[in-house]
Amino acid sequence: MHHIPPWVSTLDSCIAQSQQKTFTFCTISQDNMPKARTCKFRSWLFNDSSTGVVLFTADKRSSKINDLAHQNGKFEACFYFQHHGVQLRLSGFTEILSSHQYPSLMDLSRRNNFTTHPPSPSTTPTFFPMDATSLSYDNHSHDHHYQQQQFVRRLSVPPPSDKYPVVSPGFKATHDIYSYHVTQLPAPTPDEWLAEYYRVWSTIRPATKDKFKRPPPGDYVSAQSAALLDSISRGVDGRSLQMSLDNFTVMVMFVNHADVLRLGPANQRHLYHRANDDEWVEETVCP
C-alpha cells in the first residue's frame, strides 16, 4: 500500500499559510566545505504533496550543481516558519530535471556515508557499563552513555530502499494506488517528466526567467558582462527565452529523513526515517 510521508502535512500546511516560501539548502563543496544558500520552494512534484518530493529551481551552471554531483546528490534543507513556530530539516538526495534529463530515482546518497547507511541490527554494537561502579557516574558520563544508547538505537533503523517510490501521475489519475503494493506502481514516463519540467517553467515569472540568460553565476563582472546585465534587466538584450531554458533546471529533492521541531507551548521534536520503499519510522526525541 502506498504511504504518504508523515511529515508532509506539516510542511504543506505551513507553506500554504505562509507568504515566505524560502528555505536554506546545504551541500558540501568539492573542497569539503559546507555551503548554504537560500532557495525558494516552487512546488511539490507533479503538484502533488502526497509524493513528499520538493521542487526548487536552479541555474545548471551554479556551484550547487557541481556540489551535488560530487556528493551523489546529498543535501540538507531547513525550513523555518516563525509565525507557526515550526522548523523542518530534510535530508536525502537531489536529482536534476531538465528538457533532456530526468531523475533515475536511484538513491546513491548513502554510498560511503555511515550515518545514512547503517549496518543491519545484527551487526549493531552494544555498549555496556564497565562495572557496577559506573552506575554512580556523574552527569557528564551519564550524558555520554545516553548519547551512546541513542546512537545504537538510531543505527537499528533500517536503511531506505535504493529506488525512491514515485508513481506515474497518469497511472495515479486512473487507478486507486492505495490498493496496490508500492512495487507494483509504475514510475513516471519520460513524457511525464518532460511535462513536469515545462509545468514548473510556466510558473516562473518573466523577470525570473530572464535571469537564466545572464552570465554564469559567480563570474566576475567585466565591462562587457555589465552591459549585458543592464540590457537583460531592461528587456533589450535580444536573446530568446530558449537561452534561459538551456540553463534552467528543476531540482528534485527526494527526502529520506525529516526532523520536525515545534517550538512554543508544544515544544516537541519528531524524527522520521524512510525505511522500506515508502514506509516511514517515527521517533520522538527531546527538542
pLDDT band, residue 110 (cuts 50/70/90) = low
Best mean pLDDT range from 83-87, 125-129, 140-144:
83-87
Q: How many CB atoms lie within 10 A of CB 154?
A: 16
Instruction: Please give the model's pTM, rounded to 2 decimal places.
Output: 0.82
Q: What is the rounded distance in angstroms from the CA atom of residue 140 to the CA atom of residue 59?
A: 48
Model pLDDT for residues 161-208, shown as the tens digit of each residue:
678 999 999 999 999 988 888 888 999 999 999 999 999 999 999 999
Which grid coordinates belong to 201?
517553467
115 pLDDT band, cuts 50/70/90, is very low
94 DSSP β-pair partners: 253
Residue 159 confidence class, pLDDT cut points 50, 70, 90: low
All three cell numbers of 2, joined, read 502506498
- Give Cβ neighbours of residue 24 (< 8 Å, ≥ 6 apart): 36, 37, 38, 39, 77, 78
Tell me, what's the pLDDT at 157? 55
Contacts 24+ apart (CB under 8 A), 229-238: 235/210, 237/213
In the chain, where the domains are located: 8-118+161-232+246-285, 122-156
Strand partners, 43: 55
Mean pLDDT of all residues belonging to the chain: 85
Predicted confidence (pLDDT) per residue in 238-255, tens digit:
888 899 999 999 999 999
Structure confidence by residue, pLDDT tens digits, 8-42: 999 999 999 998 899 999 999 999 999 999 999 99
Share of the chain above pLDDT 90, in %: 68
Could you tell me which residues come within 8 angstroms of residue 67 by beta carbon, excluding any fewer than 6 positions away?
27, 28, 29, 30, 35
Q: Cell digits for 76?
A: 540538507
Residues 6+ apart with CB under 8 A from 239: 213, 232
| H or E element in which residue 170 lies | helix 169-174
- pLDDT, tens digit (0-9, with 9 covering 90-100), for 208-238: 999 999 999 999 999 999 998 899 888 888 8
Out of 3.50.50.60, 3.40.50.720, 3.30.420.40, 2.30.110.10, the CATH code matching 8-118+161-232+246-285 is 2.30.110.10
143 pLDDT band, cuts 50/70/90, is: low
